[in-house]
C-alpha cells in the first residue's frame, strides 16, 4: 500500500486546475475556475475548481472531491492506476512497499479470472462463426432479427455444443479448470466440470471500462426442452465473482456512456436482449440489471451519469412490480423518472415485429412516472369508496418518495385535485403511512427477480455492502416539513436577500442547517452567483424562484413591505449583514464537526473493507464539506458567538427613516388589513415579490 503522506504529497503537487482542464473547459473567476459539470447535464456552469484548496465542487449535482477522485470518476480507472500516473507526472517517487500477501493473492486471482473471461469470449465468438454455429446464427438473424453489426457491437457468441469444449480450450491456453469455475464460465458436477453456457447464445457483460466481467446465456431451439419434456431455464447468468458484482454492474452501461454524456436519458429495461433492442431502435442509452433486481448501487451508477431515467419494463405482473420498485428508488435518489407503457410485451418483441420506430416514439414521449401513476389510479378508482381509498393508498409511497420537497408538495397537490380530496388530508396520509410503506419497500427490494435465472454456482456473500446501500437509500427519504426558522435564521435570510453575494460565505453552513428552505435558499443563491458571475449579485434576485408559500417567502414579504428592496443598504448595511453571516458560522460547534470527521474516517475504512465504492464516494463528498466547515471556523477560540438579541440589534441599528422590520415583530393592523385571519403570520393579502411572474429554471432545492 502507498503511505498516506506520499499520497498527500502527490495531491499537493498535482495542479488540479490543469488536470481537470484537460477534461472540462474552465474559465477563471477570481481565484476559482468555473465550467460545465462533467457529471451531469447543464447549460450554465455550476462546476467549480478551487486550485488553492485542491478540490472541486458542483453546485448542481453536489459532486465533490480532489484531483484523484476526479480522475477515478471520469476515466473509470482504479485508484492505484490514477495515483501511479499522477506520481509520474508530479515527480513523486513511489516507495517500494512490500505487498500484503493476501492482497497480492487477490490481485493475481483477479488477473486469472479476467483472462479466463476474455478467453471464453474468444471461444464463444469463434464457435458462433464456425460451421457448427449455423443454427445459432440463424436463430439470431431469423428469430431475434439481430443483424451482424449488432452482433459484433455487443460481442454476441455461442457456447458450442460440447459439454467440455471451453474447459479444454482454457486448459490449452494455460489456465486451470478451477479458474474457469471461479470465473463463472464453467460448472462442476459429480461427473466433473462442464461448459456452463453450452447450447446457449452468450451475451458478454462489461464493466464501465469495457472489460468483460461475466456472461448471460439464452437457450434456443430444440435445446429449450430437456429429454423428459421439461423446459430448461430460458436465461442463465454468471455468478458473483471477485471481478463481477451483479449488485453494481448494469448491462449496457459501458455502451451507453457516450450518449449519456451528451445529456440523453437512460432507459431501464428488464434484461440484456431488451437493452440491445432499445439500442437497435435508436436509443443507445438502454441498461439492464443481470440476474438480480435493481439495487441502490445500480441507481447510484445511473445518477452519476444522467439526471433522467425512463423505466420500460415488461408488460406482465412481474414487470409492473419491478417498475414500481425502480420508480420508488429513483425518486428517492432525486432522479427525474419517466414511465413508458408499451403496446407489446417487451421492447425486444416490438423490434422483432418491425416496430422499432414506434418503440422509440413511446420512449421519447414517456410521461413523468408520477403523472402516469396518477392517471392509472384515477382509472382504477371506480366502484365506490373502497376503490377510491385503494387507489389513493397505492399512491402514498410514490408521493413520499421524491427527494425534493417541492416535487412532493406538487405531487400531493395534483392528487388532491384529481380526487377532489383535501390537500392536508392527503399530506397527512403521506406522512403517516406513505413514508412507512416506502421504507419497507426500499428495504425489501431486489429479491423478487433474483430467482429468474440460475447462476453457475452459489453467489459470493456480499450482503453487508448491499444492506449498507439499502440503508442509505432509506435514509435519503426526506422528511415532509422543515422546522420553523429560528430568529437568527430569519436574520440570516434578510441578510442574504439584501446582500446576495454573502451567500458564497454561507456554503459552509449548508451541511449543518436543519431547515430545508433556508438550506435551499443558500444553495440556490450560490448556484446563481456562479452561473451569473458577471452580473451584479443583486441582479440575480429576479432569477430566484420561491415556494408559493413558505417561511422564506414570508420573510421576503416583510422585507418588501418595509422598503428593503428599494433601499437595501439603508434597510441593512453590508457590514451588519456580514456580522450576521459570521455569527451564524461561529455558532457551528467545531468539536462536533471534528468528531464527525473522525466517524467518517472510520466509516470509509469499513466501506473500503466491504469494497462498497458507492458508499465510499458518498462519504468522501461529506468529508469534503466538513473539512471546508472546519477550515472556515479557523483556529479554536474562546470567543462566544453573539447572542441572538444582539443580532436583532444589528438590524434595528439601520439608519433612521427606514422601517427595520425585526423578524419577531407582528404585522401591523394596516398591513394585515380588515378581516385578516389572526392565526396567519403572513400579511393579508400577500403582495408579490418584485420579481414574481417568471421564475428561472426549477425552484430552489429544499
pLDDT per residue as tens digits for the range 356-400: 999 999 999 999 999 999 999 988 887 678 888 888 999 999 999
Contact status, residue 292 vs residue 247, Cβ threshold 8 Å: yes
Specify the pLDDT at position 595. Answer: 57
Q: Where are the alpha helices (DSSP H) in 157-287?
A: 165-172, 177-183, 253-261, 272-280
Given a contact cutoff of 8 angstroms between Cβ atoms, the answer to whether 507 and 526 are in contact is yes
Model pLDDT, residue 98 = 58
Query: pLDDT band at 521, cuts 50/70/90?
Result: confident
How far is 603 from 589, CA to CA, in rounded Å? Answer: 21
For residue 691, pLDDT over 80 is answered with: no
At 700, is the pLDDT very low, low, confident or very high (cuts 50, 70, 90)?
A: very low
Q: What is the mean pLDDT of the chain?
A: 78
Query: pLDDT-based confidence at 38, cuts 50/70/90?
Result: confident
Q: Is the pLDDT of residue 436 over 60?
A: yes
SS3 content of the chain, % helix, strand, coil (to 5): 55, 10, 40
SS3 389: helix
pLDDT of residue 687: 42
Mean pLDDT of 445-465: 40
Q: Which range among 100-114, 615-629, 637-651 shows the weakest confidence by mean pLDDT?
A: 637-651
> What is the structure's pLDDT at 480?
40
Q: What is the pLDDT of residues 580-616, one digit of tens each?
A: 887 777 665 554 566 566 667 767 777 776 666 767 7
* Long-range contacts formed by 15-21: CB under 8 A, 24+ apart: 15/51, 16/49, 16/51, 16/54, 16/55, 16/56, 16/66, 16/67, 16/70, 17/49, 17/51, 19/67, 19/70, 19/71, 19/86, 20/49, 20/56, 20/67, 20/70
* pLDDT mean over 277-301: 90
pLDDT of residue 452: 41
Give me the pLDDT at residue 162, please.
Answer: 87
- The yes-or-no verdict on residue 671 having pLDDT over 60 is no
Longest dimension (CA), the chain: 97
pLDDT above 60: residue 702: no
For position 116, what pLDDT does the model report? Answer: 93
pLDDT digits (tens, 9 = 90+) for 83-97: 888 888 888 888 775
The whole-number pLDDT of residue 339 equals 95
- CA nearest 347: which of 273, 263, 426? 273
Pairing mode, strands 266-268 and 286-287: parallel
Domains, the chain: 4-90 (3.90.580.10), 101-237 (3.90.980.10), 253-370 (3.40.1360.10), 381-448+458-475 (no CATH), 487-587+641-672 (no CATH)
72-75: Cβ within 8 A, 24+ apart: 73/39, 73/304, 73/617, 74/23, 74/38
Cell matching residue 30 = 477570481
Name the strands in the sheet holding 336-339, side by side, starting at the edge strand that comes first in the sequence: 286-287, 266-268, 308-311, 336-339
**85 is written with which cell numbers?**
500516473
pLDDT tier for residue 281 given thresholds of 50, 70 and 90: very high
| pLDDT of residue 262 exceeding 70 | yes
Dump pLDDT digits (tens) for 490-513: 889 999 999 988 887 776 666 667
Q: Is the dihedral of CA 70, 72, 76, 82 positive or negative?
A: positive
pLDDT of 599 reads 66
State residue 88's pLDDT score: 85
Residue with cell 412490480: 321
Give the span between the Cα atoms of 587 and 66, in whole angstroms.
Answer: 28
Taking the C-alpha atoms of residue 596 and residue 606, their distance in angstroms, rounded to an integer, is 15
Q: Is 33 helix (H, G, I), strand (E, B) or coil?
A: strand
For 240-272, give the DSSP string. Answer: PBTTB-TTT--BTHHHHHHHHHTTPPEEE-SSH
Asked if residue 653 has pLDDT above 60, the reply is: no
In the structure, what pLDDT confidence band is assigned to residue 482 with cuts at 50, 70 and 90? low
- Which pLDDT belongs to residue 317? 86
Name residues whose C-beta falls within 8 Å of residue 679's C-beta, 6 or more positions apart in sequence: none
User: Residue 450 has what pLDDT?
Assistant: 37
Is there a contact between 288 and 269 (Cβ–Cβ < 8 Å)?
Answer: yes
Cell numbers at 528, concatenated: 446563481
Residue 406 has pLDDT above 50, yes or no: yes
Q: Residue 688 above 70 pLDDT?
A: no
Please check the confidence at residue 3 and state whether its pLDDT lies above 80.
no
Question: How confident is the model at residue 76, as a pLDDT?
Answer: 67
Place of cell 446457449: 200
In angstroms, rounded to a whole number, what is the distance separating the alpha carbons of residues 369 and 236? 31
Peptide bond into 685 cis (omega under 30): yes
For residue range 64-75, list pLDDT tens digits in order.
Answer: 888 888 888 877
Note whether 292 and 238 are within 8 A (CB).
no
Q: What is the pLDDT of residue 351?
A: 93
CA distances from 385 to 32, 380, 392 (A): 60, 12, 11
Amino acid at each position: 500500500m502507498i503511505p498516506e503522506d506520499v499520497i498527500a504529497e502527490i495531491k499537493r503537487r498535482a495542479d488540479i486546475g490543469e488536470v481537470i482542464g484537460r477534461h472540462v473547459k474552465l474559465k477563471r473567476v477570481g481565484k476559482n475556475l468555473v465550467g460545465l459539470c462533467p457529471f451531469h447535464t447543464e447549460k450554465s456552469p455550476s462546476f467549480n475548481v478551487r486550485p488553492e484548496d485542491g478540490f472541486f465542487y458542483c453546485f448542481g449535482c453536489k459532486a465533490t472531491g480532489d484531483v484523484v477522485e476526479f480522475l477515478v470518476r471520469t476515466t473509470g480507472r482504479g485508484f492505484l492506476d490514477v495515483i501511479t500516473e499522477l506520481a509520474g507526472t508530479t515527480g513523486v517517487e513511489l516507495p517500494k512497499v512490500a505487498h500484503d500477501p493476501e492482497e497480492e493473492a487477490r490481485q493475481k486471482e483477479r488477473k486469472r479470472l479476467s483472462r479466463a473471461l476474455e478467453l471464453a469470449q474468444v471461444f464463444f465468438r469463434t464457435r458462433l462463426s464456425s460451421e457448427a454455429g449455423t443454427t445459432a446464427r440463424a436463430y439470431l438473424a431469423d428469430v431475434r432479427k439481430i443483424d451482424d453489426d449488432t452482433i459484433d457491437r455487443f460481442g454476441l457468441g455461442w457456447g458450442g455444443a460440447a459439454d467440455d469444449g471451453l474447459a479444454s480450450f482454457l486448459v490449452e491456453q494455460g489456465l486451470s479448470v478451477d479458474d474457469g469455475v471461479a470465473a463463472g464460465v464453467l460448472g462442476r458436477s459429480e461427473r466433473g466440470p462442464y461448459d456452463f453456457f453450452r447450447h446457449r447464445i452468450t451475451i458478454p457483460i462489461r464493466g464501465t471500462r469495457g472489460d468483460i466481467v461475466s456472461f448471460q446465456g439464452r437457450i434456443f431451439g430444440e435445446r429449450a426442452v430437456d429429454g423428459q419434456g421439461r423446459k430448461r431455464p430460458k436465461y442463465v447468468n454468471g455468478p458473483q465473482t471477485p471481478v463481477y458484482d451483479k449488485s453494481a454492474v448494469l448491462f449496457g452501461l459501458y455502451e451507453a456512456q457516450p450518449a449519456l454524456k451528451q445529456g440523453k436519458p437512460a432507459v431501464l429495461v428488464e434484461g440484456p436482449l431488451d437493452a440491445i433492442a432499445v439500442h437497435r431502435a435508436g436509443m443507445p442509452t438502454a441498461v439492464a440489471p443481470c440476474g438480480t433486481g435493481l439495487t441502490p448501487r445500480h441507481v447510484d451508477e445511473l445518477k452519476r451519469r444522467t439526471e433522467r431515467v425512463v423505466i420500460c419494463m415488461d408488460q406482465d405482473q412481474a414487470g409492473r412490480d419491478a417498475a414500481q420498485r425502480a420508480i420508488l428508488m429513483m425518486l428517492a435518489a432525486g432522479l427525474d423518472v419517466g414511465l413508458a407503457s408499451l403496446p407489446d410485451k417487451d421492447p425486444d418483441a416490438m423490434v422483432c415485429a418491425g416496430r422499432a420506430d414506434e418503440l422509440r416514439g413511446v420512449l421519447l414521449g414517456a410521461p413523468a412516472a408520477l403523472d402516469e401513476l396518477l392517471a392509472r389510479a384515477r382509472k382504477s378508482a371506480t366502484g365506490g369508496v373502497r376503490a377510491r381509498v385503494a387507489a389513493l393508498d397505492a399512491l402514498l409511497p410514490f408521493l413520499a418518495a421524491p427527494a425534493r420537497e417541492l416535487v412532493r408538495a406538487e405531487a400531493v397537490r395534483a392528487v388532491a385535485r384529481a380526487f377532489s380530496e383535501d390537500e392536508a388530508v392527503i399530506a397527512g396520509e403521506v406522512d403517516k403511512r406513505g413514508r412507512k410503506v416506502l421504507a419497507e419497500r426500499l428495504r425489501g427490494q431486489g429479491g423478487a427477480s433474483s430467482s429468474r435465472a440460475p447462476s453457475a454456482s452459489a453467489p459470493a456473500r456480499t450482503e453487508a455492502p448491499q444492506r449498507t446501500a439499502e440503508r442509505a437509500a432509506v435514509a435519503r427519504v426526506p422528511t415532509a416539513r422543515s422546522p420553523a426558522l429560528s430568529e437568527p435564521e430569519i436574520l440570516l435570510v434578510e441578510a442574504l436577500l439584501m446582500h446576495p453575494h454573502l451567500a458564497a460565505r454561507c456554503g459552509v453552513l449548508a451541511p449543518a442547517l436543519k431547515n430545508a428552505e433556508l438550506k435551499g435558499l443558500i444553495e440556490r443563491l450560490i448556484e446563481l452567483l456562479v452561473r451569473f458571475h458577471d452580473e451584479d449579485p443583486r441582479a440575480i434576485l429576479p432569477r430566484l424562484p420561491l415556494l408559493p408559500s413558505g417561511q422564506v417567502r414570508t420573510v421576503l414579504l416583510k422585507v418588501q413591505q418595509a422598503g428593503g428592496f428599494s433601499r437595501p443598504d439603508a434597510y441593512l448595511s453590508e457590514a451588519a449583514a456580514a456580522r450576521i453571516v459570521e455569527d451564524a458560522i461561529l455558532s457551528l460547534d467545531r468539536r462536533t464537526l471534528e468528531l464527525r470527521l473522525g466517524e467518517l474516517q472510520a466509516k470509509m475504512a469499513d466501506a473500503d473493507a466491504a469494497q462498497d465504492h458507492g458508499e465510499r464516494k458518498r462519504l468522501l463528498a461529506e468529508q469534503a464539506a466538513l473539512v471546508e466547515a472546519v477550515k472556515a471556523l479557523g483556529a479554536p477560540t474562546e470567543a462566544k458567538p453573539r447572542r441572538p438579541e444582539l443580532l436583532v440589534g444589528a438590524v434595528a441599528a439601520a439608519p433612521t427613516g427606514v422601517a427595520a422590520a425585526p423578524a419577531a415583530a407582528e404585522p401591523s393592523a394596516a398591513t394585515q388589513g380588515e378581516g385578516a385571519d389572526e392565526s396567519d403570520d403572513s400579511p393579508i393579502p400577500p403582495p408579490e415579490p418584485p420579481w414574481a411572474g417568471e421564475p428561472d429554471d426549477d425552484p430552489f432545492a429544499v
